[in-house]
Protein backbone atom coordinates (compact mmCIF):
# COMPACT_ATOMS: atom_id res chain seq x y z
CA UNK A 1 0.00 0.00 0.00
CA UNK A 2 0.95 3.63 -0.02
CA UNK A 3 3.57 4.71 2.43
CA UNK A 4 5.02 7.96 3.54
CA UNK A 5 8.66 7.91 4.54
CA UNK A 6 9.27 10.50 7.20
CA UNK A 7 12.76 11.44 8.30
CA UNK A 8 14.56 11.72 10.50
CA UNK A 9 12.94 9.32 12.95
CA UNK A 10 14.25 11.32 15.89
CA UNK A 11 16.24 14.47 16.57
CA UNK A 12 18.09 15.72 19.64
CA UNK A 13 18.91 19.41 19.34
CA UNK A 14 20.00 22.36 21.41
CA UNK A 15 17.57 25.15 22.18
CA UNK A 16 17.86 27.88 19.57
CA UNK A 17 18.79 25.56 16.71
CA UNK A 18 16.74 25.26 13.53
CA UNK A 19 15.05 21.96 12.68
CA UNK A 20 14.21 20.39 9.35
CA UNK A 21 12.20 17.25 8.66
CA UNK A 22 10.61 15.83 5.56
CA UNK A 23 8.16 13.36 4.19
CA UNK A 24 8.50 11.58 0.86
CA UNK A 25 6.41 9.18 -1.16
CA UNK A 26 6.49 7.39 -4.48
CA UNK A 27 2.91 8.59 -5.05
CA UNK A 28 1.51 12.03 -5.78
CA UNK A 29 -0.57 13.70 -3.08
CA UNK A 30 -3.06 16.56 -3.37
CA UNK A 31 -2.94 17.62 0.27
CA UNK A 32 -0.17 17.61 2.84
CA UNK A 33 -0.77 18.13 6.54
CA UNK A 34 1.64 18.48 9.44
CA UNK A 35 0.57 17.53 12.96
CA UNK A 36 2.32 17.75 16.33
CA UNK A 37 1.65 15.35 19.18
CA UNK A 38 2.77 16.26 22.67
CA UNK A 39 3.18 13.61 25.36
CA UNK A 40 -0.19 12.38 26.62
CA UNK A 41 -2.15 14.24 23.96
CA UNK A 42 -3.57 13.62 20.51
CA UNK A 43 -2.08 15.11 17.32
CA UNK A 44 -2.84 18.78 16.70
CA UNK A 45 -2.83 20.30 13.23
CA UNK A 46 0.03 22.74 12.59
CA UNK A 47 -0.11 23.50 8.89
CA UNK A 48 -2.18 22.39 5.90
CA UNK A 49 -0.90 22.60 2.31
CA UNK A 50 -3.15 22.28 -0.73
CA UNK A 51 -1.08 23.35 -3.74
CA UNK A 52 2.23 22.18 -5.24
CA UNK A 53 4.99 24.65 -4.39
CA UNK A 54 2.94 26.25 -1.61
CA UNK A 55 4.97 27.64 1.29
CA UNK A 56 3.04 28.33 4.48
CA UNK A 57 4.17 29.64 7.85
CA UNK A 58 2.69 29.39 11.31
CA UNK A 59 4.87 31.38 13.69
CA UNK A 60 8.31 29.79 13.76
CA UNK A 61 7.07 26.86 11.66
CA UNK A 62 7.27 26.81 7.87
CA UNK A 63 6.06 23.97 5.67
CA UNK A 64 6.32 23.45 1.94
CA UNK A 65 4.36 21.33 -0.51
CA UNK A 66 7.00 19.87 -2.82
CA UNK A 67 6.83 20.84 -6.47
CA UNK A 68 6.74 17.18 -7.52
CA UNK A 69 3.76 16.66 -5.16
CA UNK A 70 5.58 13.64 -3.76
CA UNK A 71 7.12 15.32 -0.75
CA UNK A 72 6.72 17.95 1.93
CA UNK A 73 9.04 19.68 4.36
CA UNK A 74 8.65 21.21 7.79
CA UNK A 75 11.13 23.65 9.28
CA UNK A 76 11.17 25.01 12.82
CA UNK A 77 13.32 28.04 13.45
CA UNK A 78 14.98 28.94 16.77
CA UNK A 79 13.65 25.91 18.63
CA UNK A 80 12.43 26.20 22.22
CA UNK A 81 11.79 23.49 24.84
CA UNK A 82 8.04 23.46 24.20
CA UNK A 83 8.70 22.31 20.62
CA UNK A 84 9.28 18.84 22.09
CA UNK A 85 6.92 16.23 20.69
CA UNK A 86 6.31 13.96 17.74
CA UNK A 87 5.70 15.59 14.38
CA UNK A 88 3.62 13.69 11.83
CA UNK A 89 3.13 14.36 8.16
CA UNK A 90 -0.04 13.17 6.46
CA UNK A 91 -0.94 13.09 2.80
CA UNK A 92 -4.22 12.73 0.97
CA UNK A 93 -4.97 11.77 -2.60
CA UNK A 94 -8.29 12.89 -4.07
CA UNK A 95 -8.94 9.50 -5.61
CA UNK A 96 -8.51 7.62 -2.34
CA UNK A 97 -11.83 8.55 -0.78
CA UNK A 98 -10.33 11.19 1.44
CA UNK A 99 -8.19 8.76 3.40
CA UNK A 100 -5.18 10.35 5.07
CA UNK A 101 -1.90 8.42 4.99
CA UNK A 102 0.39 9.19 7.93
CA UNK A 103 4.15 9.10 8.22
CA UNK A 104 5.91 7.32 11.09
CA UNK A 105 6.63 10.55 12.92
CA UNK A 106 9.74 12.52 13.87
CA UNK A 107 10.39 12.66 17.60
CA UNK A 108 11.97 15.98 18.57
CA UNK A 109 13.87 16.53 21.81
CA UNK A 110 15.14 20.01 22.68
CA UNK A 111 17.86 20.48 25.27
CA UNK A 112 17.67 23.81 27.13
Partner 1 sequence: ETGVTQTPRHLVMGMTNKKSLKCEQHLGHNAMYWYKQSAKKPLELMFVYSLEERVENNSVPSRFSPECPNSSHLFLHLHTLQPEDSALYLCASSQGGASGANVLTFGAGSRLTVL
- Which residues lie near partner 1 (CB under 8 A)? 3-4, 9, 31, 33, 35, 40-45, 48, 50, 88, 92, 97-105
Nearer to partner 1, 29 or 73 (CB): 29
Nearer to partner 1, 14 or 95 (CB): 95
Query: What one-character DSSP code corresponds to residue 96?
Result: G
* End-to-end C-alpha distance for the chain, whole angstroms: 40
> How many other C-beta atoms lie within 10 A of the C-beta of residue 48?
16
- CA–CA distance, 82 with 8 (Å, rounded to integer): 19
Smallest gap from residue 88 Cβ to partner 1 (A):
7
Assign 109 to helix, strand or coil: strand
**69 within 8 A of 49, measured Cβ to Cβ:** no
Nearer to partner 1, 48 or 52 (CB): 48
Smallest gap from residue 51 Cβ to partner 1 (A):
13
Smallest gap from residue 55 Cβ to partner 1 (A):
18
Nearer to partner 1, 18 or 50 (CB): 50
Amino acid sequence: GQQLNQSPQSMFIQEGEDVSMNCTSSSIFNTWLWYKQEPGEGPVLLIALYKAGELTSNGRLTAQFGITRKDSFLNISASIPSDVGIYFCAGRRDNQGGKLIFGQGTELSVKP
